[in-house]
Amino acid sequence: MNHLSVTRDELAGVATTLLEDGNRLALVAAHEDPHGFRIVYVFLGADRTELSISMPRDDAWLPSLAAICYPAGRFEREIRDLYGIKAKDHPLPHRLVRHAHWPTGWHPMLSGAGPMPDVAGPASYPFLQVEGDGVYEIPVGPIHAGLIEPGHFRFSVVGETILRMKARLWFVHRGVEKHAEGRSLDDVLALTERISGDTAVGHSLAYVMAVEEALGITVSDDARLIRAQLLECERIYNHVADLGAIVNDAAFSIVAAHTGRLREQLLRHNEDVTGHRLLRGAITIGGAQLRRPVDVDLIAGVVRDAIELAHTAMGHSVVADRMHTTAVLRADQVRHMGVLGYVARASGVAVDARADQPFVDLGPSFHVVSESDGDVWARFLMRVREIEVSAAVLSDLSERLASRCGETVAAPLGTGSGFGVVEAWRGSLCHRVEVADGLVTRLKVVDPSWFNWPALPQALTDTIVPDFPLANKSFNLSYAGNDL
Amino acid sequence: MIATLLVIVQVVVATAITPLLLGVMRQVRARMEGRVGPGVLQPYRDVRKLLAKEPLRADGSSGVLIAAPLVLLVSSLMVVALVPLVTTANIPAVPNDLFVVVSILLIGTVALALLGLDAGTAFGGMGSSRHMMIAALVEPTVLMSVYALSIPVGSSTLSKIVVARGADVTRVVTPAGLLAVVALVVVVLAETGRLPVDNPSTHLELTMIHESMILESGGRDLAWLEVGSWLRLTALLGLVVNLALPWGLADSAQPLAVLVAVVAFIVKLLVAGALVAAAEVFMAKVRLFKVPELLAGSFVLAFLAVTASYLAG
């Protein structure tokens, strides 16, 4: 790990060199120090590089990296909304996280922000209007017909073909990062498990790894193996549910009915193993403990059934036709936007923190799978192939664990900062924490959905409106992980 | 008088059995997919629930939102009265001619499309435009296929066609007859919003056709829309089964004949519904732009049926 302090003038040059060397920008976090602001940039590659810039409070601005790195531009907009630090020469200096009805000049992450003032009047959020013969708009959401999270999609359509789609998110800002400040390490652990219900292991594991680095805690091999197992369990139950959900959007509901059954088996297994259906509570700072070992035979059976169901769907000519060439995301778009997870791998970009930033050796069965077409079919196939690998990895890990269930350790108090990155089921997920005397002073969370949301509208070029649900489900991005 | 009585019996029986038809179809599908299902009586409960609720109508909507459900319901009841389901008798004043039936179906179709447009929402307009696209493709095929069946009989009156087919089994299994019935099945599925054209059980607004037009309706309005749409399914599915199996229909008011006709109709309809539902389990929804291909295919079948009818003399 390299840690560099740079000035604002040097930043663009250093960042360019890092990006050209094949690093990717993983996280940008602002910090409010007693005498000013500090911005930390984390670049991930073969090694990790942290750049930090300090600035006085009365001269708070950032040089914008948006021109050389697309995700940086979004991080800068987030920092402006939450801290009021402006990025100079930003190409798109609009609000991102803050809704239009949030009061001007109120930045919730600042220490003196206080509770949210009353919302003044209805919000206006102008959308770019596409003009021309026969172009019309379809507004969808933020309240949807299914039980999903809130997001507003504005389609500009001619006939049935989508010309442009703009997603408006951030309807449920909960203040997770603010909530973490000043709380004990264990309280924040419980908080991170609840950031996004379907990624309890991913978020809590990235958090504990960050804390362990901050406090210099060494983790036993057993705990590492158990953590890797939990991560794969989470991947499998979510991917299995997705397999059915994607096909269900093509109205082939028999597969969805059966993946629902398989998911339930997995959730019950989760409860047996950790005491919680969503795998909460097993990961602790410095350790990991299971109630009983993971039942690899049960999971292998479920995965076998799920793959058979997936092949039933893929063998159905109409379902296959719906998925092929639908919502194509090209590899160059993936690289440009820094897309992560199965979405990137389906387009042929094999980013995977399990291979790039491993915390444990996953054994001989592990390999990163990827596809090249970048359509709904490829993203569907990614899930099929990934659960196959995951089941094999689980079995290898189980052999090495030999029925040991791990143990919890007492975390020492201390001060420091740390960073954790894991390959959660949606993609690489990272947390950065700063700890002072056993209390969290700053937690920054970056869910893979943060990187992947802008890719969805790009993939919709030449897609027809009735295929949007299929495209959306194949991305399956998190609202809660994106909107903290 | 007797004919009118028989038609009244037909309308009452068909209306009473329609929610059961939907219930059976949904239950068959649920069981085949490994789900428990809500039971075959659920559509009756849904209608009772909706009828007890006051309709809420969007700001700025016009009388169309009130009138269209009733127009759809009345047009569907008229189709149910005209198509030979239980009886081959027909009201002397209104001929149950093929062209009359198709025209009345179209009144309901247009009422639904106007309803979708009325509240001014994007979904409603989208549903109406898709609905009209499908209607425009379906109507010619319906006309062609029934026309193919009418050529050997020399009349486009539906009841005469059914009677003639019932009197002579060889007419049922002619190539022309089979082609026409297959074409008719495809368009009936499209017209009534079943798979593979529309998915009646979806919650995804962007993929809907029929459902997106009725999104803005609630309470009693929605009840009439649902019953009106279901009655179309009963009428069209009933017509297809009676063309395929043209036996058991009552032509006189003898109680026994009427009873046999009612039972035969209910059994034929429910079995046909169960078969459609079972087939739907194996189907997925085709891409919207593939729908014209599917319907063009059924039009070709109907066209071949017409040609074959002439060749067969």
Q: Is the pLDDT of residue A65 over 80?
A: yes
Phi, psi of B33 (to 5 degrees): -85, -5
Q: Which of A247, A254, A464 sits opposite B288 (nearest CB)?
A: A464
Concatenate the DSSP letters of all residues of A400-460 into one string: HHTT--EE--PPPP--EEEEEEEEETTEEEEEEEEEETTEEEEEEEE-HHHHHTTHHHHHT
> What is the average per-residue pLDDT within B215-223?
90
What is the distance between the alpha carbons of residues A75 and A28, in angstroms, rounded to a whole number? 6
Confidence of residue A130 (pLDDT cuts 50, 70, 90): confident
Per-chain mean pLDDT for chain B: 89
Q: Give residue B91's pLDDT band: very low, low, confident or very high (50, 70, 90).
A: confident
pLDDT given at position A222? 92
Q: Indicate whether A384 pLDDT > 90.
A: yes
**Confidence (pLDDT) at A191:** 96
Across A270-279, B120-129, B138-147, the highest mean pLDDT is recorded for A270-279
A22-36, A103-117, B32-46: least confident range: A103-117
Long-range contacts: A331-335, Cβ < 8 Å, 24+? A331/A372, A331/A374, A333/A455, A333/A458, A333/A459, A334/A374, A334/A455
Least confident of A117-121, A230-234, A318-322: A117-121
Cβ-defined contacts of B90-98 (< 8 Å, 24+): B90/B3, B90/B7, B90/B157, B90/B159, B91/B3, B91/B4, B91/B7, B92/B3, B95/B157, B96/B157, B96/B158, B96/B159, B97/B156, B97/B157, B97/B158, B98/B143, B98/B146, B98/B147, B98/B150, B98/B156, B98/B157, B98/B158
Please indicate whether residue A462 or residue A285 has the higher confidence score (pLDDT). A285
Is A182 touching B (CB cutoff 8 A)? no
B203 and A146 within 8 Å at the Cβ level: the answer is: yes
User: Given B207, B282, B284, which is nearest A466 (Cβ)?
Assistant: B207
State mean pLDDT over A433-457.
Answer: 94
- Rounded CA Rg of chain B: 19
Residue A140: strand pairing partners? A153
How near does any CA of chain A get to the CA of B44, in Å? Answer: 23
The pLDDT mean for chain A works out to 91
Strand bridging mode A2-5 / A48-56: parallel
Count Cβ–Cβ pairs < 8 Å, chain A vs chain B: 74
Distance (Å) from the C-alpha of residue A129 to the closest C-alpha of chain B? 15
Statement: residue B308 has pLDDT above 90: no
Strands (E) located in A152-308: 152-158, 161-168, 283-284, 287-289
Residues A469, B204: C-beta atoms closer than 8 Å: yes
Q: Does A137 touch chain B (CB under 8 A)?
A: yes
Shortest CB distance from A257 goes to which of B33, B199, B289? B33
Q: Is the pLDDT of residue A118 over 80?
A: no
Is residue B160 predicted with pLDDT exceeding 70?
yes
Give the three-state DSSP class for B281.
Answer: helix
pLDDT band, residue B95 (cuts 50/70/90): confident
Establish how many alpha carbons lie within 13 A of residue A277's alpha carbon, considering only the half-sphere containing its beta carbon. 7
Partners of B201 on chain A (C-beta within 8 Å) are 253
Contact A249, A379 (CB under 8 A): no
* pLDDT tens-digit readout, A158-184: 888 898 898 888 888 899 999 999 999
- Mutation pick from A160, A255, A376, A377 vs chain B, by most beta carbons of B within 10 Å, is A160
Predicted confidence at residue A43, as pLDDT, reads: 94
Give the confidence band of A223 by pLDDT, cuts at 50, 70, 90. very high
**Which residue of B287, B291, B293, B294 to mutate against A (max A Cβ within 10 Å)?**
B287
pLDDT at residue B313 tops 60: no
Number of domains observed in the structure of chain B: 1
Interchain pair A139, B207: CB under 8 A: no
Interface touch A140/B196, C-beta < 8 Å = no
Residue B211: is its pLDDT beyond 90? no
Minimal CA separation from B284 to chain A, in Å = 5
Give A313's pLDDT tier (boundaries 50, 70, 90): very high
Structure tokens at A307: 């793959």
pLDDT at B161 over 90: no
Window 158-177 of A, Cβ < 8 Å to B: 160
Which of A322, A468, A469 is the closest to B287 by Cβ?
A: A322
CB B253 within 8 A of CB B89: no
pLDDT at A135: 87
A146 CB within 8 Å of a chain B CB: yes
Q: Verify whether the Cβ–Cβ distance B289 to A316 is below 8 Å.
A: no
| Range from A111-115, A328-332, A444-448, B102-106 carrying the lowest mean pLDDT | A111-115
Asked whether the predicted pLDDT for residue A121 surpasses 80, the reply is no
- Mean pLDDT, range A75-93, rounded to an integer: 91
What are the distances in angstroms from CA A302 to CA A239, B35, B36?
Answer: 12, 18, 21
Q: How far is B138 from chain A (nearest CA, A)?
A: 20
Contact list in B for residue A469 (CB cut-off 8 A) is 204, 206-207
User: How large is the average pLDDT for residues A119-146?
Assistant: 78
Decide: helix, strand or coil at residue A252: coil
Q: Is A138 on the interface with B (CB under 8 A)?
A: yes
Q: By CA distance, what is B291's nearest residue in A?
A: A318
Least confident piece of the model among A97-101, B25-29, B161-165: A97-101
Q: Cβ of B35 and A257 within 8 Å?
A: yes
Question: A316 and chain B: CB distance < 8 Å anywhere?
Answer: yes
Cβ-based contacts of B290 with chain A (< 8 Å): 321
pLDDT band, very low/low/confident/very high, at A120 (cuts 50, 70, 90):
low
Whether the predicted pLDDT of B153 surpasses 90? no
Q: Kindly provide the b/e burial profile for residues A103-137, where b requires at least 16 CB atoms within 10 angstroms of the residue's own CB.
A: eeeebbbbeebeeeeeeeeeeeeeeeeeeeeeeee
The pLDDT confidence band at residue A390, using thresholds 50, 70 and 90, is: very high
Rounded percentage of chain B residues whose pLDDT exceeds 90: 44
Structure tokens at B92: 């002397």
Residue B286 and residue A321: Cβ atoms within 8 Å?
yes
Cβ contact (<8 Å) for A316 and B284?
yes
What is the average per-residue pLDDT within A222-248? 95
Contacts of A257 in chain B (CB under 8 A): 33-35
pTM of the predicted model as reported, rounded to 2 decimal places: 0.91
Return the pLDDT at A124.
66
- The arithmetic mean of pLDDT across residues A207-225, rounded, is 93
Contact between chains at B206 and A468 (C-beta distance less than 8 A): yes
Range of the domain at B193: 2-312
pLDDT greater at residue B195 or residue A79: A79
ipTM, 2 dp:
0.86
The H or E element spanning position B294 is helix B291-312
Question: Which pLDDT score, from 0 to 100, does residue A251 have?
Answer: 87
The predicted-structure confidence for B34-80, as pLDDT tens digits, reads as follows 999 999 999 999 999 999 999 988 888 888 999 999 999 999 999 99
Q: What is the mean pLDDT of residues A264-279?
A: 95
- Amino acid at position B257, single letter: A
* Range in A238-242, A303-307, B272-276, B299-303 with the lowest mean pLDDT: B299-303
A155 has which bridge partners?
A: A138, A165
Mean pLDDT computed over A275-290: 93
A-chain CB neighbours of B207 within 8 Å are: 249, 251, 466, 469
